[in-house]
Each structure stands twice: as C-alpha cells, then as structure tokens.
Amino acid sequence: MTYQDAAEKLKMYGQEHVLKYFDELSENEKSELLEQIELTDFSVIEQGKSGMAAQKGTISPLASLELDEINENKARYTELGIKGIKEGKVAAVLLAGGMGTRLGSDDPKGMYNIGKTKDVYIFQRLIENLMDIVELVQTDIYMFVMTSDKNHGKTVNFFKEHNYFGYKEEYIKFFMQEMAPATDYDGKVYLESKCRISNSPNGNGGWFSSMK
C-alpha cells in the first residue's frame, strides 16, 4: 500500500490523524504502518457508530433440552454425532487468543501447567479429550486453534515442542484472530506509538469470520 492509498482509505473513515507522524518515521516504520493500515478493517468503527450491529435482528431465548430428555435420547444423539463426524461435518474449534495473566502467567493461557505430580498443560488436556472421541469414532477430527497476534508464535511453537500431544499434526490448523482498532468515544483510532495503531482482539464472537 502506498502513502496515497493509505491516506485515501483513512479519509474515507475520518482517521487521517493516523498518518500525523509519518514524516518522522524510519523507512521500516513507515512500511509497518502502511501495512497495518492496509490490513485494518475500519468499517467496524462505522458499524458501531451507526448502530448497524444492533440492526441485524432480534435476540430471543433458544429452545433447550432438559437433562432427562438428553438421557432418554442419549443413544440417538450419540448416533447422530458419530454420523456427523464420520461424514466430515464436525470439527473442533479452540478459542486460544488469550494470555494467562489472571493465572499469574505471561504465556498463552493454554500453556498453563495444571499438573500436581507431573506436568499437565491445559492445551494437553483439551487435546486428550478430543483424542478420546477420535478413538471412539475411529475417525480423525480437525481442530482449529484460534490465536492472537500476541500469542500466535508461542502457541504454535508450544504445540510443536510437545509433538502436538500425540495428535496428528495435519489435523491441527492455527489461525489468527482478527483485530479491531481501539477508539475513543468519538470513534477516533488510538495510536500505540507514532507508527502503530492500537488494536484489540475482535472478541470470541468474531471467531467464525477470523477462521473463514
């Protein structure tokens, strides 16, 4: 993306201030900022200001099953689930974009060691749970792992270092969560520095568009 292209895109969304310090940047910093502008979806800001997100429809309670009904139909539900897996209509998605800050860790949350007498990691237990289903059904299941720009490298390397906890590598797919620009109350994008837009993960609700 050229400077002119970036300026036109920012003008379209009223975010021209993002290029305020452009002439003060090094060539590498200029390239990084232009790339970030190109990849940032500023339309989400417009949706928030116009209330578009709230106009998609009405929210009403979903029908639910009670435990007795589930137990009575357990065989049928199990059969339907196995059929869906065997037909390749079922996959697992792990939302792993967060860090373990509240657990006292600077690593991705899934890297947290929950073992008492031996090392056992959150990622490991989730993989082992899925492997139980794979062994039951005798069919491989894809697992999509959503990371963020803050933990993608660490997460991918952790899986590699632990040999994917025994899961078939080709059935684990990593993808990064889309980021949305952070703004003030007037909808103006914040700058983390002179060469970087302040972005935040687009939330768990954005996992599908990120995966797509």
Q: pTM for the whole thing?
A: 0.72
> What's the CA angle centered on 107, arms 101 and 108, to 5 degrees?
85
For the stretch 93-103, pLDDT in tens is 999 988 888 88
The pLDDT, as a whole number, for residue 209 is 83
Q: Where are the alpha helices (DSSP H) in the chain?
A: 3-12, 27-39, 43-50, 67-72, 74-86, 122-137, 152-161, 207-211
Q: Which two tokens stand for residue 193?
A: 């520095």
For the stretch 145-182, pLDDT in tens is 999 888 899 999 999 999 999 999 999 999 988 878 88
